[in-house]
Structures are given as structure tokens and as C-alpha cells.
């Protein structure tokens, strides 16, 4: 996977005409989706203000001793809580605004539920990254202004991605780019001073962290949310549209499941493991619903075997929605999931269970076993339709006995009518669902169809003779499953590749400031050999050579020769460059790796306004180092990194001065983890 992410040499960034610099949608475009997202952003700000007021009132209530003051604070607190509840209901209304995200084609189908994108605040990378480039990499930070601007432009574009594959690729590109940025600028032992803030998509509560884990997790959530919006937008009146919708919902489930397993301690309600598990179930349930619609799209023929197949498919959809509603009703998800989502899951569970019983009743009432019919096949299908037949009945006897078929069919119709009535009742209890006209029409039409069919076959003594209709075994010809995100298919160029190969020039490694070595060849002999590729190291140094006397050390990395950057040159290219100067004096700049500092805990305080202690936590990201041989004696020297983080460090990047640091003996090169940090185990720690 990482092969596509690590270029062998720095490649020039493509220009805008070649499609490298992607843009999001115009944030000022007055589309239905943009208006909805703007309303979400405004609501987030109102919720933040209300939460701060509530926190202040609660603190005042704890501190106040005067009874009149306490009564006044309690009254004010009740008003604030009331406002928060109204804002929460308004946000829930946005989350159930399914009509905005559906396809433009008029369809007589139940709407699907999309996820809204998480909102964020602007982040200025320039000051922090410039400081780090100057301190850690000892390079002129102003040479990287364009790269920093590209990173900020990419982040800004990710706030308004287009609702198609290009938008998904845009978000994935930024997510992979964050892996490079984390390896370049976020060491495990210090903070860069950047604060990332994201708003919960379900509660509107902001969460802030000083590392990239929250940023990466939120981008992953938005990738999943964008897939759900793509799925709801598909035209479900065509086979291709239904297949695209199924694929989109399965990919959404894959991204959300990957987020749950990779980032296990999230400080946001919408990205908690329990909530993500429910969202994954919801995406798979909607994909299964699309499977049923794809089978039903050509029309349901009134044939025995076709009705058996459709009945079991409908039972499968009803089963997954019943499981989804049960998961939504469990704590702590129940407190934060939109009530309208749980109601719609319950409505669909009853609706599709009713359809399963209706199709079963149709095959029993309308189809009699005729001479010459395939008795064995029909008997097998009917026996597989139930876990067990009603008492006193057998599949073959029921098929041959017309009164028994009629009675069993009418029993299924009664159960279908019961489920229809329950789905209509559940939809009427939710204000948001009552306003979805197409939902009400679909439920009413299905209910009326079952009632009319029962009325045509109803008899006076039915209540005395009807038997209990058994449950229908669920079965599907296409089992939906999660599709994991395929990041390897997105090719991304590291914006900061000029800093050098990531295997050496990363935030986790420390080295001396560049040293200038001036030497000449002695009888066509450099006085040292070379090893490695990009960057090349000094190897087998003659202690009496001109280079050694000028300060070169074995293990030094060659970063430039006569002003030519060599960090990405291969061994043969560096050797050719050195040999090209003949007897002239050669100026070579080198750096030496320093001893790794002892392992430290990276304490990342998570600021979460008004959230419970469970989600407002101190998160530890521990970088495990290789064990050091206790018998070795390492002389402690002032490290360049520790100087850069000293208490009296100046803030302005333009006025920082680089210290002269002693050079320690080089260590054996350690194998670093992949720069694509989303694959590291540390990415699962908050």
C-alpha cells in the first residue's frame, strides 16, 4: 500500500491544468445541500453558545450561597436547557431532511437516510510549520510557503466536497496527505501548537485537540458521510442506479467500520465505537433494502417460485431493520441518535415484514397445485419458507388441500395488516416522518392493498378457524457486506518532499545542523566510500584523508554538494557528481543522526465543551522505542530538538538562530514504521 505513497524521487507538482489542485464545491452556491450545510454550521455556533452559558450557570450555581441568587440561576438554567433542547430538535430536523439528498427523479420509494458532513474551523498551518522547518530541519522556512499554502487550500476544499467520486478522492487525498504531515511535523514528544476543532454531526458540540488524530478521524467520517449522500442521490428506478446505491452504502459502512477499529477512543459522540457500530448497521440495512428494490424493479410476477423469493427477500430487509432499531434503542446511543432515525428504522421493519407476509399469502391463496405441477419443488420451497409448519399441517398436504391453503394464506394477510397498521402508527408518532409525503403514500398504499385482498377472501367464521401464521425465514440472493476503503488507489504526492526522504528526514529523528565539509580529491581518491540510496551516507572514511580532516564522519548523510541538493540522489548520481570536480575543492554539506531521546508520553488534552467526562479525556499517544543496551554508556549532549523547545525560544521564525551542536557517533539505522501513519497502531490511540 505504501509503495504508491513513497515516491522514489521528488516529483514536480502538477499544475492546476493537469488536475492536481482539486477544488471543492462553491460554498456560496445556493444548492439545497449547501443551504442545509450552512444551516448546520449556524446551528453549531448557537449550540456552542448555549453550552457555554449552561456551563457558566452550573458553575455559578455551585459557587453561590445566597438563596435568591441560586433561585435566579436555576431559573436561568432552565431557560438555557430549554433553548438547547430546541436547538437539538432543529439539528435533528436537518439530519432527517432526506428529501434534499434524494435523487431528482420522482419515485414511489421510501427515502434513505444520509449522514451530514462534520463542520470544522479554519486552521493556519503557516506559523507552526515554518517554525518547525527552521528548528528541526535547519532549512529556510520561506522556501516552503507554497507547499504550506497548498496544504491549507486542500483542507479548505475538503470542507465542501462535491457529491461524487471526485469528492471522495479529494477527501482521501487530504487524509493520505495528513499521514505525510504527521510524520514530518508531529513528533511524539512535543506539540506544534496547532488546534483542530470539529463539530459533532449529531449533537453540534465542538471538540478540539492539538494533534492530527482528531483531524484524520473526522475526515474519515466525512468520507463515509459523503458515500451515504452519493447512495441516496442514485436513481433507484434503474438497475444501474440501485447497484450504485448498494455499492455506495457498502463503502460507507466500510469507511465507518475502519474508523471504529482504527480510532478506538474518540472524543466525539458521532465517532464513538457504539455510535459507529449503529451507523454501520444502518448503512448495511439500506444496502439490503436496495437489493430488494433491485429484485422488485422489473415487476413481481404472480408466480409461485417468484413470490417465495420476494417474500424471503422482504423478510430479510425487515429483519435487518428490526436489528437496527434494537441497536438504536440501547444506551448510550439512544440518548444521541435522532429520534426520527430510530422511528424510521421501526417503520421499515414493520413495513417489510408486512410485505413478506403479503407475498406469502398471495402464493398460498392464488396458486393451487395442479396436475402435472412440480410437487417436489413446490413442497421444498414451502418447507424452506418456514422454520416449522403450523401444528397439524405439512407442506405437501397444505399444497393439495385448498381450504388449508386459503386459511393459512388469510392468516398471513392478518399478520400483514397488523404490521402495516403498526408501521403507519409509528410514522404518525414522529413529527418529522409525518412531513415526508412519499413515506406516508407508500405506507398507505401497501396497507390498503393488504386490506382489499383480505376483504375479497374474508368469511364469517374466519375468526374461529384462522390459525397463527408462522414467521417467514429470511433469505437473500445477495448478502451485503462492508467494502473497506481503498486508499492505495489514490496517488498522492508529498507536499514537503523537498525536505528529503521520509525514512530519514522525519519528525521522529534528530540530527545535527548541516556541517560544511571542504576537501579535495587525493590522487583521484575521495578518501571515503559511499553507501545507501537517497540519501547517501559516508562509509569507510580514511582518517587521514582531506574529508576526514575537514570534519567528515562515518555515517554522515550527504545533503548537498556545491549547492546541489543531494537528499534524493542515488549513490551513482552522488558519486558522479563528486568525481566531476576533479582536483577542485569540493564543498559538501552533511548531517549526523543524534541519539534517540528516551521514550516520553505524549499527553494530548482534549477540550470538549459541555460533554461528559467519558468523552472529555486526557489521551496518551505512546511511541515505543527499541530497548537500549544497559551496558552501553551514552554521553548526554544538548540535542537540537531540546534546544528548539526550550522555555526561552523566540516565537518568530525569521529571528531564530541555530545553535552549534556537538556531533555524536552515528548509530545503526533503525527501521522506521511506514509514513502512512493510518496503518500504525498509534493511530488508534487518542
Q: What is the pLDDT of residue 102?
A: 53
Closest by CA to 182, choosing from 143, 149, 210, 145, is: 210
SS3 for 437-470, per residue? HHHHHHHHHHHHHHHHHHHHHCCCCHHHHCCCCC
How far apart CA 246 and CA 100 sit, in angstroms, is 19
Q: What is the pLDDT of residue 147?
A: 93
Closest by CA to 77, choosing from 87, 69, 88, 89, is: 69
What average pLDDT does range 347-365 have in this prediction? 93
263 pLDDT tier (thresholds 50, 70, 90): confident
Q: What is the pLDDT of residue 282?
A: 96
Question: 7-32 pLDDT, tens per residue?
Answer: 344 544 444 444 444 555 554 444 55
434: how many CB neighbours lie within 10 A of its CB? 12
The cell numbers describing 501, all together, are 526522504
What average pLDDT does range 534-553 have in this prediction? 88
Question: 193-245 pLDDT, tens per residue?
Answer: 899 999 888 888 888 888 889 999 999 999 999 999 999 989 888 999 999 99
Q: What is the pLDDT of residue 6?
A: 36
Angle between helices 212-233 and 239-262 (to 10 degrees): 160
Closest by CA to 207, choosing from 218, 215, 198, is: 198
465: how many CB neighbours lie within 10 A of its CB? 12
Whether 266 and 217 have beta carbons less than 8 Å apart is answered as: yes
The mean-pLDDT minimum among 165-174, 305-314, 434-443, 524-533 falls in 524-533
What average pLDDT does range 41-46 have in this prediction? 70
Q: What is the pLDDT of residue 544?
A: 86
**Phi, psi of 121, rounded to the nearest 5 degrees:** -100, 160
Q: What is the pLDDT of residue 301?
A: 85
643 pLDDT tier (thresholds 50, 70, 90): very low
The cell numbers describing 649, all together, are 525560544
Residue found by looking up cell 459523503 in the block: 226
Q: What is the pLDDT of residue 616?
A: 34
Question: 249-261 pLDDT, tens per residue?
Answer: 999 999 999 999 9
Residues 6 or more apart whose CB falls under 8 angstroms from that of 673 comprise 679, 680
Q: Is the pLDDT of residue 48 over 80?
A: no
Question: 142-180 pLDDT, tens per residue?
Answer: 899 999 999 999 999 999 898 889 999 999 999 999 999
Q: What is the pLDDT of residue 344?
A: 94
Closest by CA to 110, choosing from 119, 122, 99, 123, is: 99
How many Cα atoms occupy the beta-carbon half-sphere of 298 within 13 Å? 7
41 pLDDT tier (thresholds 50, 70, 90): low
The cell numbers describing 424, all together, are 403507519
How far apart CA 345 and CA 426 sit, in angstroms, is 10
How many helices (H) does the chain have, and how many strands (E)?
Answer: 21, 11
What average pLDDT does range 384-410 have in this prediction? 77
What average pLDDT does range 336-346 have in this prediction? 91
The cell numbers describing 168, all together, are 471522495
Q: What is the pLDDT of residue 467?
A: 76
Q: What is the pLDDT of residue 418?
A: 94
pLDDT top residue among 67 and 607: 67
What does the mean pLDDT of the chain come to? Answer: 77
Q: What is the pLDDT of residue 2?
A: 35
Residues 6 or more apart whose CB falls under 8 angstroms from that of 261 comprise 684
**Phi, psi of 345, rounded to the nearest 5 degrees:** -65, -40
- Does the pTM of the predicted model rise above 0.95? no
Question: 102-157 pLDDT, tens per residue?
Answer: 554 556 788 899 998 998 999 999 999 999 999 888 888 889 999 999 999 999 99
pLDDT top residue among 165 and 635: 165
Closest by CA to 610, choosing from 162, 144, 77, is: 77
According to DSSP, the residues that pair with 619 across neighbouring strands are 604
Angle between helices 304-328 and 375-385 (to 10 degrees): 10
Radius of gyration of the chain measured on its C-alpha atoms = 33
The mean-pLDDT minimum among 105-119, 339-353, 437-451, 466-480 falls in 105-119
Peptide bond between residue 332 and the one before it cis (omega within 30 degrees of 0): yes
Q: What is the pLDDT of residue 352?
A: 96
Q: Is the pLDDT of residue 430 over 80?
A: yes
Question: 458-481 pLDDT, tens per residue?
Answer: 775 555 566 788 899 999 988 999
50 pLDDT tier (thresholds 50, 70, 90): confident
Residue found by looking up cell 475502519 in the block: 258
Top mean-pLDDT range of 17-31, 287-301, 538-552, 636-650 = 287-301
Largest CA distance in the chain: 117
Whether 590 and 538 have beta carbons less than 8 Å apart is answered as: yes
Q: What is the pLDDT of residue 219?
A: 95
What average pLDDT does range 381-402 have in this prediction? 75
pLDDT top residue among 108 and 485: 485
Q: What is the pLDDT of residue 191?
A: 80
Q: What is the pLDDT of residue 32?
A: 53
pLDDT top residue among 582 and 541: 541
The mean-pLDDT minimum among 291-295, 410-414, 415-419, 595-599 falls in 595-599
pLDDT top residue among 113 and 653: 113
Top mean-pLDDT range of 171-175, 554-558, 613-617, 663-667 = 171-175
Q: What is the pLDDT of residue 35?
A: 61
Top mean-pLDDT range of 20-24, 393-397, 643-647 = 393-397
Residues 6 or more apart whose CB falls under 8 angstroms from that of 425 comprise none
Length of the chain: 686
Q: Strands 515-519, 206-209: parallel, antiparallel or unpaired by DSSP?
A: unpaired
Whether 538 and 218 have beta carbons less than 8 Å apart is answered as: no
Residues 6 or more apart whose CB falls under 8 angstroms from that of 290 comprise 236, 242, 245, 246, 249
Under DSSP, is residue 676 helix (H, G, I), strand (E, B) or coil?
A: coil
283 pLDDT tier (thresholds 50, 70, 90): very high
Continuous segment of H or E residues that includes residue 517: strand 515-519
- Percentage of the chain lying above the pLDDT 70 cut: 74
Amino acid at each position: 500500500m505504501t509503495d504508491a505513497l513513497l515516491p522514489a524521487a521528488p516529483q514536480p507538482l502538477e499544475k492546476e491544468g493537469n488536475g492536481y489542485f482539486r477544488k471543492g464545491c462553491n460554498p456560496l452556491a445556493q444548492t439545497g445541500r449547501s443551504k442545509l450545510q450552512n444551516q448546520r454550521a449556524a446551528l453549531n455556533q448557537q449550540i456552542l453558545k448555549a453550552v457555554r452559558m449552561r456551563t457558566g450557570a452550573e458553575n455559578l450555581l455551585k459557587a453561590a450561597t445566597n438563596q435568591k441568587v441560586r433561585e435566579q440561576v436555576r431559573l436561568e438554567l432552565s431557560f438555557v436547557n430549554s433553548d438547547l433542547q430546541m436547538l437539538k430538535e432543529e439539528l435533528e430536523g436537518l439530519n432527517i431532511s432526506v428529501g434534499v439528498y434524494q435523487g431528482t427523479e420522482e419515485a414511489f420509494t421510501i427515502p434513505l437516510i444520509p449522514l451530514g458532513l462534520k463542520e470544522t474551523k479554519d486552521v493556519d498551518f503557516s506559523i507552526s510549520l515554518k517554525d518547525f522547518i527552521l528548528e528541526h530541519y535547519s532549512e529556510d522556512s520561506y522556501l516552503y510557503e507554497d507547499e504550506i499554502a497548498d496544504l491549507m487550500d486542500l483542507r479548505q476544499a475538503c470542507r465542501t466536497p462535491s457529491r461524487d467520486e471526485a469528492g471522495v478522492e479529494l477527501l482521501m487525498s487530504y487524509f493520505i496527505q495528513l499521514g505525510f504531515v504527521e510524520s514530518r511535523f508531529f513528533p511524539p514528544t512535543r506539540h506544534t501548537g496547532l488546534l483542530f476543532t470539529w463539530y459533532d454531526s449529531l449533537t453540534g458540540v465542538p471538540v478540539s485537540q492539538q494533534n492530527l488524530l482528531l483531524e484524520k478521524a473526522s475526515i474519515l467520517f466525512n468520507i463515509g458521510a459523503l458515500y451515504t449522500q452519493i447512495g441516496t442521490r442514485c436513481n433507484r428506478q434503474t438497475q444501474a442506479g440501485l447497484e450504485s446505491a448498494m455499492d455506495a452504502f457498502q463503502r460507507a459502512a466500510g469507511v465507518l467500520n475502519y474508523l471504529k477499529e482504527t480510532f478506538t477512543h474518540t472524543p466525539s459522540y458521532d465517532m464513538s465505537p457504539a455510535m459507529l457500530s449503529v451507523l454501520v448497521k444502518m448503512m448495511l440495512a439500506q444496502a439490503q433494502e436496495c437489493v430488494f428494490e433491485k429484485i422488485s424493479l422489473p415487476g413481481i410476477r404472480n408466480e409461485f417460485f417468484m413470490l417465495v423469493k420476494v417474500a424471503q427477500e422482504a423478510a430479510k430487509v425487515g429483519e435487518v431493520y428490526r436489528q437496527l432499531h434494537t441497536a438504536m434503542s440501547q444506551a448510550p446511543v439512544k440518548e444521541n441518535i435522532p429520534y426520527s432515525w430510530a422511528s424510521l428504522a421501526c417503520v421499515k421493519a414493520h413495513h417489510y415484514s408486512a410485505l413478506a407476509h403479503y407475498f406469502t399469502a398471495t402464493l398460498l391463496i392464488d396458486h393451487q397445485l395442479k396436475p402435472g405441477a412440480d410437487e417436489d419443488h413446490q413442497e421444498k420451497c414451502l418447507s424452506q419458507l418456514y422454520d416449522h409448519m403450523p401444528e397439524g399441517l405439512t407442506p405437501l398436504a397444505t399444497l393439495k388441500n385448498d381450504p388449508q391453503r386459503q386459511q393459512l394464506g388469510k392468516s398471513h394477510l392478518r399478520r400483514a395488516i397488523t404490521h402495516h397498521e403498526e408501521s403507519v402508527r409509528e410514522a404518525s408518532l414522529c413529527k418529522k416522518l409525518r412531513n415526508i409525503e412519499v413515506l406516508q403514500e407508500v405506507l398507505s398504499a401497501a396497507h390498503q392493498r393488504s386490506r382489499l385482498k383480505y376483504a375479497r377472501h374474508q368469511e364469517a367464521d374466519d375468526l374461529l378457524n384462522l390459525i397463527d401464521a408462522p414467521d417467514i425465514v429470511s433469505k437473500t440472493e445477495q448478502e451485503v457486506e462492508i467494502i473497506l476503503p481503498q486508499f492505495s488507489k489514490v496517488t498522492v504526492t508529498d507536499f514537503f518532499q523537498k525536505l528529503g526522504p521520509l525514512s530519514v528526514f522525519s519528525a521522529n529523528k534528530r540530527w545535527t545542523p548541516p556541517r560544511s565539509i571542504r576537501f579535495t580529491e587525493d590522487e583521484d581518491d575521495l578518501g571515503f566510500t559511499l553507501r545507501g540510496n537517497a540519501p547517501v551516507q559516508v562509509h569507510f572514511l580514511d582518517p587521514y584523508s582531506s574529508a576526514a580532516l575537514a570534519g567528515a564522519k562515518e555515517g554522515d548523510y550527504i545533503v548537498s554538494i556545491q549547492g546541489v541538493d543531494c537528499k534524493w540522489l542515488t549513490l551513482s548520481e552522488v558519486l558522479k557528481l563528486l568525481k566531476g570536480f576533479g582536483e577542485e575543492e569540493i564543498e559538501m554539506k552533511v548531517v549526523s543522526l543524534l541519539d534517540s531521546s528516551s521514550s516520553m508520553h505524549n499527553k494530548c488534552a482534549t477540550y470538549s465543551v459541555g460533554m461528559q467526562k467519558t468523552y472529555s479525556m486526557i489521551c496518551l499517544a505512546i511511541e515505543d522505542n527499541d530497548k537500549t543496551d544497559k551496558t552501553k554508556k551514552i554521553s548526554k549532549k544538548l540535542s537540537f530538538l531540546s534546544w528548539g523547545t526550550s522555555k526561552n525560544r523566540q516565537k518568530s521564525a525569521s529571528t531564530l538562530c541555530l545553535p552549534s551542536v556537538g556531533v555524536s557517533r552515528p548509530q545503526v539505522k533503525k527501521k522506521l514504521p511506514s509514513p502512512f501513519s493510518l496503518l500504525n497502531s498509534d493511530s488508534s490511540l487518542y
